[in-house]
A = this chain, B = another copy of it.
Amino acid sequence: MFEMLRRILIGRPLHNKELTHQKLPKWKALSIFSSDALSSVGYGPEQIALTLSVSGLLVYGYFSYVFVAIIILLAVVTVSYVQVARANPGGGGSYSVAAANLGEYPALVAAASLFADYILTVAVSVSSGTDALISAFPVLVDYVVDIDLAVLFGFLMVINLRGVRESANVFVAPTYLFIGGILTLICFGLYHVVVVPGPLLPPESVVTQGLNGTILFLILRAFANGCSSMTGVEAISNGVPMFKRPEVKNAIATTYWMSAVLGVMIAGISFLIMHYHLLPLKNVTMLSHLAEIVFGRGWGYYYLQVTTMAVLYIAANTSYNGLPPLLSILARDGYMPRYLGSRGERLSFSNGIILLSAAAGALIYVFQGNVDRLLSLYAIGVFLSFTIAQTGLVVHWSRQRGTQWVSRLVTNALGAVVTGIVVLVIAISKFFSGAWMVLIFIPVMIYIFRSIRSHYSDVSEQLLLPAAELAKRMQQPRCGKIIVVVPVATPTRIVVETIRYAQMISKDIIAVHVAIDEEAGRRVAEQWRSLNPELSLEVIHSPYRLTIRPLLRFIAHLRKETAPEDVISVLISEFETRKWWHRLLHNQTGWILRTRLILQERVVVTTIPYHLTK
């Protein structure tokens, strides 16, 4: 049953040979890698307006300054990431760049930041996608979290467990349909602006109040929120090897295209929001509000809402392309559990995919799918990893000194400084509203990374020996003997089987019975004598009615009495029942005994199953 469901959802297992690196043409790569960046138009400009529309303060007029700053920042980041693609044609994100050029700690900071932001990307994108849906169909408002989780686990997780190739094709169309929709919205909007007289605005909305501390703080915060539009710009440079030849050139061209489209969309939407002086509405996104003004509530409106929803859900997929491979690299380097590094039956990094889904699901649940609150945590990690990657490249160019190395170094240095400043702005202006969580998360993750690595190196230090040494030990004659301990409850067929196995592996056999009361102890001892006069039975009296503790004590005692090269082998019989619930009718003493026994040195536990036939 379970197996069948799995085959239907995930598909048949794939052979190692089927792991081929698909090469993407530019138009396809653009849609796959840029859905994250482009979709942020769905919430980025809104976030600026949201921050600037605090009642009682006249700061909405600063909108234009903020969005110009965002566009400039986008240009700087784009140019910097073109350099990343150039310097790392092998792909690999900030972690690889930092590990190669800056050392362990910066690399781990980058890894932790990326970790946080990949999870947040999923949570934010899925929640925003559902917000777009709710704006169009308000009747669904009570099911926000349920829809979020259904999309996350039922769609994103499943499609990614199926593996990369399927996911690629699903994602191409919606991105282009979305771009088309937004550009049409902007064109129609601009036409409206020219032809139709603008709405009557309250005069204070266009007045710009003089700068002071509070207002500056609000503006910086609006800028910090707006920076969420820029997450995902790095995706292309991480996936250079997936492009058709010449990879680097194609990747760079695609990066420029993506940034251009993103810039136009941010500018257009921001301008229209400003023009119509949109203010936040409950359960309606600004993009929805804008589309309603421009298109009316007709086909154009619903087209835009549905494509926005689709592209936002798909944007979450960027993380699925990014985090599992990163985890596998971290696992290879020993910073994460090893099994995160292995490919599942469909050649995808299934453990990483499940981990990402679970973490994003937990975030969505805790924040109840509230985009505004999730965004408070967002962007800081992305910009931190931007800064580290750019800094890494500065070191890279200064070491490598290829063609144009000076201009490249300067470009990346500029990028590092600018994104570094952005990190500071975000950290300070959003500190109390959520950035503190990320700032705690990063050092905690680094501690975890390093603890895991230190455990693995401890283990291999204990286990790995030079081949010669291993061979020598293997061929040494073994001098100790095996002492078999057989716990006996009542003499039944199962005990006979167990004793006969014991006789096959050793001559030293000790049968032990724990007697809850004296009467029962005597009876078992008597039965035993009639059964096998040669094999004596040790009866342990347990007037406190414990069974496991006296046995453990007996074996600990036996260890002291025997030679250090001897092995104590405890045989535990276990019922294998025909129906699962029958298991509940037998006590779990065997299981508990086994778990406790293997904690003792020189003790080996053998399970002898007895298969009940009915």
Contact = CB atoms under 8 A, between A and B. Distances in A.
Contacts of A543: 15-17
Contacts of A567: 501, 504
A459 B612 contact: yes
Contacts of A463: 492-494, 610
Given A478-B504, A605-B607, 19 more contacts: A16-B516, A16-B544, A343-B545, A345-B544, A347-B545, A458-B612, A458-B614, A462-B614, A463-B494, A465-B493, A467-B530, A473-B493, A482-B504, A482-B505, A501-B604, A598-B607, A604-B606, A604-B608, A605-B609
A607 to B, nearest CB: 5
Residue among A494, A517, A544, A582 having the largest count of chain B Cβ atoms under 10 Å = A544
Contacts of A165: none
A16 B521 CA distance: 14
A388 to B, nearest CB: 26
A461 B582 CA distance: 15
A138 interface: no
21 contacts: A13-B545, A15-B544, A16-B545, A337-B587, A338-B587, A339-B587, A345-B545, A452-B585, A462-B612, A462-B613, A465-B493, A467-B527, A467-B531, A470-B491, A470-B496, A474-B532, A504-B505, A594-B607, A599-B609, A604-B606, A605-B606
A72 interface: no
A13 B543 CA distance: 10
A146 interface: no
A245 interface: no
A421 interface: no
A8 B153 CA distance: 45
A606 B484 CA distance: 13
Nearest to A347: B545
Ordered nearest first, which 6 A-B pairs have the shortest CB separation? A463-B492, A598-B609, A13-B544, A505-B505, A606-B606, A16-B543
A280 interface: no
Nearest to A579: B455
Nearest to A535: B474
Q: At the interface, is chain A mostly helix, strand, loop or mixed? A: mixed
Contact of A503 (B464, B478, B481): B478
Given A504-B567, A609-B604, A612-B458, A546 B467 contact: no
Contacts of A504: 478, 480-482, 505, 567
A496 B613 CA distance: 38
A15 B542 CA distance: 9
A611 interface: yes
A464 B493 contact: yes
Contacts of A473: 493, 496
Given A478-B503, A598-B574, A609 B613 contact: no
Contacts of A575: 459
Contacts of A598: 574, 576, 607, 609
